[in-house]
Structure 1
Amino acid sequence: MLQRVAVIGGGAAGLCAARHILSRPSSFAPPVVFELSKSIGGTWCYDESVGTHSSMYRDLRTNLPKEVMNFPDFPFDPDLSSFLPHQEVQSYLERYCQSHDIRPHIRFNTPVEKVRLEGGAKKTTWQVTSSDSSGHQRSETFDSVFVCSGHYSKPHIPQIPGISNFKGQVLHSHSYRFAEPFSGLSVLILGAQASGLDISLELAKVGTQVTLSHARPRLTFPLPPQVQQAPGLEAVNQDGSLRFQDGSVGVADVLMFCTGYVFSYPFLDGTELGVDIQEHVVTPLYRFLFPPSFPSLFFIGLCKMICPFPHFDCQVRYALGVLEGSVLLPSQAQMAAEISQYQQKKAELGVERRHLLVMNQDQWEYCLDLARSACFPPLPPVVRALYEEVWRQRRIHPQNYRQINYRLVSATQWEVVEPRVEKL
């Protein structure tokens, strides 16, 4: 009997899940992909309206080169430059969808309302309740559920004492689309990770005075003269001025939170699953993928600071190996113990609980481990090598690193296609 799989989300992770399910017709029925919007692409689907699912801004370009971004078996057009505007990534996902004939299996404008456990002790099944555009609800039973709904749609807004005293505009980068409306204004940006830095550089180009406020060590690479750094924001004073952690005070017309996003799965009951779903961490999950008690509910793409599309591909292939039985799992108790040991090790290294899903260097061994366990080809070493080179360039030349184009020469080597500009 073929297994029925529900895939929640039609972004990159959901399309990857559908593609690999469709490639195994002897094990799985065609998937049902539930997509709450009218199109595929998830976070890559740009929508100029604010208040939508999209967090994409108009002039965003990828901060990873296409040579390491692609799914392992589906390259980008080699004629494109290495760092792509978001429209090219959306086009790539549409080609991926078309190439693997995924679209007939997607239900658009169909949010999932509830996922509930069904079945007895011997066989777990899942009741998935969805609603269509007319509000009509429908419940169906599946053998497995892949949660691919992403985590870039619900903004994280930290508590700032006195924020109601601020006289200007307050927004999160989720609502930022382009720089022009901020021309001539002073903007305080909270957060200096990828989006905070990118948006600061965009704003500087249109004559905005930017203060980049963050609690990290001071950035040492060159920034435009319009971008100043400040310590973390401590509070907003009664007169609307801004007080920083070093006691200094500033003013701004706009306060923009570039403080990331939180996990949100309103269709899941974490208590029923034995899973603690918090804003920044979902645990315990074996190999960051499934609750030990329920190895048929998979969260794809939870990890942060990763090379996303290859990461999704490894996770999906491992998960399908679990469902097919080719991946032999330890006992529930052993899986729980492994998770606990990992968390304890991270705690001893000083990693906060909220950062348990931040992978960085750990991602490579993780993906290799999944490939070994499920017997599929590992990511070629060149992916890691080029990923790390780009991170190095980004720290040295944040304004110019996207001008470099790369080419993969072999499974272990890459080269620069155009001469590197030494004086940037």
Structure 2
Amino acid sequence: MERRSRTRVAVIGGGPAGLCAARHILSRPEAFDPPVVYEMTDHLGGTWFYEERVGTYDNGYPIHSSMYRDLRTNLPKEIMMFPDFPFDDRLNSFLHHTSVQQYLEKYCEKHDIARHIKFSTVVEKVKPVSMEMETGGAVTWEVISRSTRGDQNTQTFDSVFVCNGHYSDPHLPYIPGIEHFKGKVLHSHSYRYSEPFANKSVVVLGARASGVDISIELAQVNAQVILSHNTPTMSLPPPLGIRQASTVVGVLEDGSLQFQDGSVTQADILLFCTGYNFNFPFLCPSELGLDVQDLFVTPLYKYLLPPGFPSIFFFGICKIICPFIHFDCQVKFALAILEGSVKLPTQEEMEKEVQREMQRKQDTGVQVKHLLNLDKDQWDYYLDLARVGRFTPPQPVFESLYEEVRRQRQKDPQKYRQINYRLIDATQWELLEAPPEQTD
């Protein structure tokens, strides 16, 4: 059927995924109207924008960012970047978060994105509207938004890109007896800096990136840190004095914490570094045929779209990825679908493919809460998207450097960020002898 007009896309969120979506939509003016980007805060950057406050904004909505003051990236800038927009090469490989925020602002400026962002505007409702007669059965989307001034607005789009991030709704696993704990309980979402924890006893739950990094920060201000997790013991530098323990399984009546191995400890603070829930408050997931659990969303074909509604896309749902490269591939694939250069299988075939993929993972022992972890599988995923979507896949050097950084991180979780890298070509990287000049 001949297209009557250009495709209108709503983008929800002005963080890295939303900016990447806007940049690629704007690069195809023959096929797409300029996007409307809805951003609930008064700034771009998403989770990279450091917000000292915790709790809620002035408008009553929860603080979105989980950024803490001294965070540095755990991936080098050489594989943090959007493939078509490198970081300033004078910067060290591992960046302070302010450098990433500045990078996103420059990306936005280069592609003239800001004028398409509706800042301080919350999306309240996204719903599919069937327009059988007019569009040959295609679904359009009604987006109802509200500005901080209270003005409500309704617009209709051909497609919706959900880029609202998933580092803002803390996941707090239930611990039996937690009501007996006499100290302070908080989630890393509300952690900003280490000084208030000086000389306190802290049990940190969870040993992914934030759990390890925050434990190291706390140990440096003489907190007595126990890192509680269910993964193999890590090699943490002995001078830090971080103890490792099995999972906390309960709190006893006297307020002490009990670990899986039966040992018990008292603590001033229990700090959950246990990840984040998926949260789409503007959607009715069941209406889209989606099951949204705390840590899992299904079915999403290619981790992107509900098979029954192939014009709404959920970006960055996967975990343990190179996020900016990931967004770039997903956006290009979504636009190829909307432009018509990718013909999707039937709804039933897409649902079966998602089911097969999830079953394959579970058969290898992957728990449901980890089904969206890609890690080493991300590179085959990008090749698949690029092959079907007919765009250039990420260069092999990214995977090679990703694996090298993993090795260095496992060897020394404290010092791996002192190493600097440089990309030589599509397949090779090198270590830099001396750190380049740090400009942030």
TM exceeds 0.5?
yes
Alignment of 1:93-242 (within 5 A): 93-121=104-132, 122-242=137-257
Which amino acid letter does the alignment assign opposite residue 386 of structure 1?
Answer: L
CA contact (8 A) 1:63 1:83 kept: yes
**Equivalent residue number for residue 44 of structure 1:** 48
Whole-Å Cα distance in 1 between the matches of residues 18 and 235 of structure 2? 39
Deviation string, structure 1 residues 239-291 (Cα, Å, up to 9, x no partner):
11111111111011111001010100011111110011111111101100001
The separation in 2 between residues aligned to 1:41 and 1:350, in whole angstroms, is: 36
Mapped partners of 2:357, 2:244: distance in 1: 36
Work out the CA distance in 1 between the residues paired with 2:242 and 2:428: 36
Equivalent residue number for residue 247 of structure 1? 262
Shift of 1:82: 0.2
In structure 2, distance between residues paired with 1:7 and 1:156? 25
Q: CA separation of 1:184/1:275 partners in 2, compared to 1, >3 Å: closer, same or farther?
A: same
Q: CA deviation at 1:224?
A: 3.5
TM-score, normalised by the number of residues in structure 2: 0.94
The residue identity in structure 2 corresponding to 1:300 is F
Deviation at 1:216, TM superposition (A): 1.4
Please state whether the residue corresponding to 1:64 is helix, strand or coil: coil
Q: How far 1:143 sits from its partner (Å)? A: 0.3
Shift of 1:187: 0.6
C-alpha distance in 1, partners of 2:239/2:80?
28
Partner of 2:335: 320
- 1:7 corresponding residue in structure 2: 11
* Counterparts of 2:110 and 2:240, CA distance in 1: 47
For the structure 1 residues 376 and 223, does the alpha-carbon distance in structure 2 shift closer, same or farther, using more than 3 Å as the test? farther
For 1:94, give the aligned amino acid. E
Report whether the alignment pairs 1:71 with 2:82.
Answer: yes
The equivalent of 1:91 in structure 2 is 102
Name the aligned partner's letter for residue 28 of structure 1: F
Structure-2 residue corresponding to 1:296: 311
- Which one is further off, 112-121 or 220-229? 220-229
Q: Match of 1:23?
A: 27
- Aligned counterpart in structure 2 of residue 365 of structure 1, from 380, 383, 386: 380
Which residue in the other structure is 1:418 paired with? Answer: 433
* Whole-angstrom CA distance in 2 between matches of 1:75 and 1:343: 34
Which residue does 1:35 correspond to in 2?
Answer: 39
Amino acid corresponding to residue 332 of structure 1 in structure 2: Q
3-state SS, counterpart of residue 375 of structure 2: coil
Deviations 1:143-175 (A, max 9, x none): 000000000000000101111111111100000
Contact 1:7 1:18 survives alignment (8 Å): yes
**Residue-by-residue CA offset, 1:177-216 (whole Å, 9 max, x unaligned):** 0001111111110111100000000011111110101111
1:384 is matched with: 399
Distance 1:224 1:31 in 2: 52
Give the secondary-structure state (helix, strand or coil) at the position aligned to 1:111: strand
Is this contact kept in 2: 1:208–1:226, CA < 8 A?
Answer: no
Return closer, same or farther for 1:223/1:137 CA change in 2, 3 Å cut-off: farther
Q: Which residue of 1 aligns with 2:424?
A: 409
TM-aligned CA deviation for residue 223 of structure 1: 4.3
Cα distance, 1:419 vs structure 2: 6.2
* Native 8 Å contact 1:60 1:86 kept in 2: yes
User: What is the match of residue 72 of structure 2?
Assistant: 61
Give the AA of the match of 2:318: C
User: What is the identity percentage for the equivalent residue pairs of Structure 1 and Structure 2?
Assistant: 61
Give the distance between the partners of 1:220 and 1:226, measured in 2 at CA: 12
Partner amino acid, structure 2, of 1:35: E
Q: Distance in 2 between matches of 1:308 and 1:131?
A: 29
Number of residues of Structure 1 aligned to a counterpart in Structure 2 = 420
Compute the displacement of 1:222 (Å). Answer: 3.1
Asked if 2 retains the 8 angstrom alpha-carbon contact of 1:201 and 1:224, the reply is: no
TM-score (norm 1): 0.98
Partner amino acid, structure 2, of 1:201: I
The Cα shift of 1:346 comes to 1.4
The alpha carbon displacement at 1:294 in A equals 1.1
Alpha-carbon distance in 2 for matches of 1:359, 1:374: 20
Tell me by how many angstroms 1:374 deviates: 1.2
2:153 partner SS: strand
Opposite residue 315 of structure 1, the aligned amino acid is Q
Shift of 1:119: 2.1
Distance change (3 Å), C-alpha of 1:223 and 1:264 = farther
Contact map agreement 2:236 2:414 (CA 8 A) in 1: no
CA drift at 1:337: 1.4
Shift of 1:335: 1.0
